[in-house]
Amino acid sequence: MFTLKRREQLEQEIKKSRFLASAGPVGTEEEARGFIAACSSQEAGHNCWAFRIGDLYRSSDDGEPGGTAGRPILQAIDGQALDRVAVVVSRWFGGVLLGAGGLMRAYGGTALACLRAAERQPIITFAALSVTCAFADEARIRSGLSAFPAALIETKGFKPDGVQLQITLPSGELNDVIRIINDISRGQAEIQSSPV
């Protein structure tokens, strides 16, 4: 999955109405609602929006006919395989009625054009490993994990027969790191994983 690197805006005119899309990365519903409030224009007739953060998604037609604005914006987000993204499309009425289909195309199309123009970045999830190993294995484990530059290894404590390590790393490297620790410790290390 991808999110946006930074806020992006795109403006277009459709049948004399002006549409301004603002899209940006958000991590929580609170951030999304703050982004929506910041990007909504008081002068616009409608500020329609949508956001997706994992399984959480919301959208609003802001007075446009039901399903003609918020849902098409959300479909643009989903169609671009984006997550942790909010989009606001503001409309200034130009005197020509667009009809339900025209509104859906205008809101969804403006959101889509904005998202396509935006720079993306991959979403990297992290996991944490709690590892208890013998003193003799600690240096070898640290050396073996040097091939994973994103892994952060911290000493969390000591036990009579070994040391406790906390390892934070990208989730995609989890299985390889567990395999290396098991190989080095000959299966003697105690390993527990959890998402960060």
**Which tokens hold the place of 86?**
């909010």
Q: How many CB atoms lie within 10 A of CB 122?
A: 7
Is residue 57 within 8 Å of 116, Cβ to Cβ? no
Question: 3-class SS at 82?
Answer: strand
Distance CA 99, CA 178 (A): 57
Q: Which CATH superfamily is domain 2-122 in?
A: Impact, N-terminal domain (3.30.230.30)
Residue 70, CB half-sphere, CA atoms under 13 Å: how many?
19
Strands, E, within the chain: which ranges?
Answer: 2-4, 8-14, 17-25, 46-53, 56-60, 85-92, 120-122, 126-133, 152-159, 162-170, 190-195
Q: How confident is the model at residue 193 (pLDDT cuts 50, 70, 90)?
A: confident
Q: pLDDT band at residue 136, thresholds of 50, 70 and 90?
A: very high
What are the residue ranges spanned by the domains of the chain? Answer: 2-122, 126-195
Compute the average pLDDT of residues 55-84. Answer: 97
Among 3.40.50.10810, 3.30.70.240, 3.30.450.20, 3.30.2010.30, what is the CATH number of 126-195? 3.30.70.240
Round to the nearest angstrom and report the end-to-end CA distance of the chain.
17
- Of 80, 93, 185, nearest to 138 by C-alpha is 185
Compute the average pLDDT of residues 100-121.
Answer: 97
Q: Model confidence over 47-62: pLDDT tens digits?
A: 999 999 999 999 999 9
d(CA 110, CA 75): 12
Position 125 scores a pLDDT of 86
Query: Which one-letter DSSP state was computed for residue 180?
Result: H
Distance CA 190, CA 180 (A): 13
Q: How far apart are CA 71 and CA 116, in angstroms?
A: 18
Average pLDDT estimate for 110-121 = 97
Section 113-139 average pLDDT: 94
The 10s digit of each residue's pLDDT in 156-166 is 999 898 999 99
